[in-house]
Amino acid sequence: MALDTGGTMTDTFVVDENGEYTVGKAQTTPEYEAEGVVNSFQNALGYWDTTLEESTDTIRGTVYSGTAMLNRLLEREGEGDIGLITNRGFEDTHRFGRGIESWVDLPYSGRLHAREHEHPEPIVPRENIRGVRSRIDHLGQEMIPLYEGEVEEAVHDLLDRDVRVICVSLVYSYQNPEHEQRVREIAEEIIDERGADVPIWLSSEQNPVRGELPRVNSLILEAYAVEPSREQLYGIRDELEAEGADAPFRVLSSSGGTVSPDHDWLVETMISGPIGGIFGGEFLADKLGIDNLVCSDVGGTSFDVGLITEGHYPTRWDQSLAQFMVNIPMTAMDTIGSGTGSFVRVDRASNRLEVGPDSAGYLVGVANEESGLDTPTVTDCTAMLGYLNPEYFLGGKIDLDVDRAREYIEDQVADPLDQDPHETARGVLDIVERNMTNELNAMILGLGYSPENYHLTSYGGGGPLHAAGYTQSLDFKDVLIPDWAAAFSAFGCATADYAYRYDRSLDLVLQPDLSNAEQVAAALTDALTDLREQAVAAFERDGIDAEEMDFVPALRMQYTGMLDDLEVTLPGDIWNGELAADDLPDVIDVYEREFARVFQRAAQSPEQGYTITMGVGTGIAPSPSPALPEEEPGDETPPEAAGRGHRDIYWDGAWHEAALWEMNDLEAGNVVEGPAVVEAPATTMLVPPGFEAPLDEHRIFHLGET
């Protein structure tokens, strides 16, 4: 069982021993996520005429992904009272940040206008930060000893301020953690003397990699937004256990594996929800033989995009979370605040339409009378245009009052603009879908490619509804919409391995003539061996036999002097538990082949030597995986039993009579011709006039213009 807890809906994907699946959906319950999770699983299992209680003895594992931690950070609802000890003179690092933090998460228009640039409010107030004299240099050598008296004073001061946790981040501690470890020893002695209960967290243990600002930010975010969310994860696990499930409960990480909620550091799971879709896209691309695939996710609050190019999705280290730069490995993706729940308003100053970025989330819109909302949303516009069945939204669990939506849109949006309400509603969707189109185009062109080089898969609850709109002007090879699109991110979780990844900064320079190959090989062997031991310890803690674990070593390398490094996996014929000096030419060959693939027109610079910036070790254990459906294609004409009548829809300035189809009753080989609306309990697919959507043997629609 896999799940994706979004800001609006909780999607579940359940797969059986034959690889067959069912999809469930329920409203997210942010105060107690476990309730929405159980409701969603019950909804999915209901299609197999069973319940969670009746099926718990068959559950082999549950994988969680979601945005609850990120939302906690975005909405500043985490737990404060954090203390920080750093080097004297570095007390303002977190507050000052970097210039990029003032604009990194703004939309394109906001980046252009400096008046919108603003640094994020620091999470740890300046008065909760203490500096102590100490200095380790970039080689790990002690330049200034730790002034232990200042540490004692700092700890007493922070305890007097009733901090909940003390974070410790000293310069270059990833090269030599001795000073941080001594700070903890001193702090724990004082805490014991005072009878307090305050944990001490070290940056050298959480994420021992270079980058002082992102390293301290990552540690602070763990304390502020992640640790409080751990209780939500425990709540879900407890609810499943109460139903009788004793299978492993895991959380998707941003780098691709799944970890236990007991894992020491969960900050790398903060954006697991959107990333699940990219892993699902990778699985799909591999099975269908697609080299280049755009993964696009339309949710209630955001539009998330990731690219798989030549079978590869990149891992970034320069990501931001709510404008804070962090240095944790994340699958590369971009997000804009444009979703189906985005609020629609008229800017009184400019008299222009504004959509989002704030969202109604799980409340949907004013058409949902029980929402208590008084501002219309994108969903209200789609309901008003006839795209949604008001009696079948979320399988009929939420009734939509179309007249109420029309009244609010007319009063608050159309009348102030002196426009027709339906044309205004369609204009709102044009804005939303144009923003999505621009985001797609910018990402692809930024790599030096064009949309004609890519297939696109559209998913999320709103993906099938808006796919025609945001892909129409881009000439993709094909637009793929799986019939399980509503739970595609959860599907991606189901494809993820049970894996723990550990990283360590190295900054080893390999001379061009390999004259220091022996020393570098010895250092790499030590580092990768340590990383393997960390992975083994993690699996043993989770009760998994380490003998079942495959260890995958990797290095991040660059030509000396370059700004960007690349991650390369060491194959088994190079790594057999150690590296020798004569293995390094093979390591270089692996790097240069990857460099030529990623930077096809860039000049190689072996004369500068090579810098190995980081060692990466990933332990992987076997886990179940879904299979794509395989159905025998039949007639192009859909069966009569799949028909649900007709409904008028508004498209391109006119009303059209659209055929209605039940998605689950359509058969492989059927071709849905527009204008049509294909409905399912968890999503709706719009096939506008001039479009068609054949359904293939894997139950994937191929949406395109006729």
Residue 570's nearest CA partner among 533, 511, 612 is 612
**Which tokens is 415 given?**
């009348």
* Confidence check: pLDDT of 125 > 90: yes
Is there a cis peptide before residue 357, judged by omega within 30 degrees of 0? yes
Structure tokens that stand for 131 in this block:
């500096």
Does residue 113 surpass a pLDDT of 80? no
Q: What is the pLDDT of residues 522-580, one digit of tens each?
A: 999 999 999 999 889 888 887 778 888 899 999 999 999 888 888 899 988 899 888 99
- Give yes or no for residue 625 having a pLDDT over 80: no
**Better-scored residue on pLDDT, 161 or 112:** 161
Pairing of strands 293-298, 330-331: unpaired
For strands 610-621 and 498-510, give the pairing: antiparallel
Q: Is the pLDDT of residue 16 over 90?
A: no
Q: What is the pLDDT of residues 291-326, one digit of tens each?
A: 999 999 987 777 888 888 877 777 777 778 888 898
Q: What is the DSSP letter of 54?
A: H
The residues near 468 (Cβ < 8 Å, ≥ 6 apart) are: 686, 687, 688, 691, 703
In whole angstroms, what is the distance from residue 239 CA to residue 29 CA? 14
Please report the sign of the dihedral spanned by the C-alpha atoms of residue 588, residue 593, residue 596, residue 597.
negative
User: H helices within 75-177, ranges in order?
Assistant: 93-96, 108-112, 148-160
**Residue 150 CB partners (closer than 8 Å, separation 6+):** 88, 132, 133
Query: How many degrees, rounded to 5, is the angle at CA 610 between CA 606 and CA 616?
Result: 140
Please write the tens of the pLDDT for every residue from 445-461: 877 788 999 999 999 88
pLDDT at residue 341, rounded to an integer: 83
Q: Among the listed ranges 48-52, 265-269, 430-434, which one has the minimum average pLDDT value?
A: 265-269
C-alpha neighbours within 13 Å on the C-beta side of residue 478:
16
**In the predicted model, what is the mean pLDDT of the chain?**
88
Lowest mean pLDDT among 189-203, 421-435, 493-507, 636-650: 493-507
φ and ψ at 697, to 5 degrees? -70, -15
Task: Give 271-274's long-range contacts (Cβ < 8 A, gap of 24+).
Answer: 271/67, 271/70, 271/321, 271/330, 272/64, 272/65, 272/66, 272/67, 272/493, 273/4, 273/5, 273/6, 273/65, 273/66, 273/67, 273/489, 274/67, 274/299, 274/302, 274/304, 274/306, 274/333, 274/335, 274/489
Phi, psi angles (nearest 5°) of residue 281: -65, -40
Per-residue pLDDT of 318-358, as tens digits, reads: 778 888 898 887 877 777 777 788 888 888 777 888 887 77
User: Which one-letter DSSP state was computed for residue 410?
Assistant: I
**pLDDT band per the 50, 70, 90 thresholds, residue 260:** confident
pLDDT at 601: 65
Lowest-pLDDT choice from 398-407, 593-602, 614-623: 593-602
**pLDDT confidence tier of residue 200, bands split at 50, 70 and 90:** very high
Using omega within 30 degrees of 0 as the cis cutoff, is the peptide bond preceding 675 cis?
yes
Q: Please list, in sequence order, all residues whose beta carbon lies within 8 angstroms of the beta carbon of residue 228, skipping any fewer than 6 positions away.
A: 72, 78, 79
Contact (Cβ atoms closer than 8 angstroms) between residue 229 and residue 68:
yes
- The pLDDT confidence band at residue 108, using thresholds 50, 70 and 90, is low
Res 600: pLDDT: 66
pLDDT of 52-80, one tens digit each?
888 888 888 888 888 767 777 777 777 78
Q: What digits encode the pLDDT tens for the residues 217-235?
A: 999 998 888 877 788 889 9
What does the pLDDT read at residue 358?
A: 74
Per-residue model confidence (pLDDT) at position 384: 93
Task: List, in sequence order, the alpha helices (H) in 84-198.
Answer: 93-96, 108-112, 148-160, 178-194
pLDDT confidence band for 107 (50 / 70 / 90): low
Check pLDDT > 80 for residue 173: yes
Question: Using CA of residue 33, residue 37, residue 43, residue 46, what is the dihedral sign?
Answer: negative
Torsion of CA 528, 533, 537, 539, to 10 degrees: 60
Tens of pLDDT along 569-582? 998 889 988 899 99
Weakest-pLDDT range from 61-75, 449-463, 654-668, 670-684: 61-75
The DSSP output letter for 146 is -
pLDDT of residue 629: 84
The neighbour count for residue 42, using CB atoms within 10 Å, is 17
Task: Quote the pTM value.
Answer: 0.82
Inter-residue contact 328 to 319 (CB < 8 Å): yes
Q: Do the Cβ atoms of 8 and 362 come closer than 8 Å?
A: yes
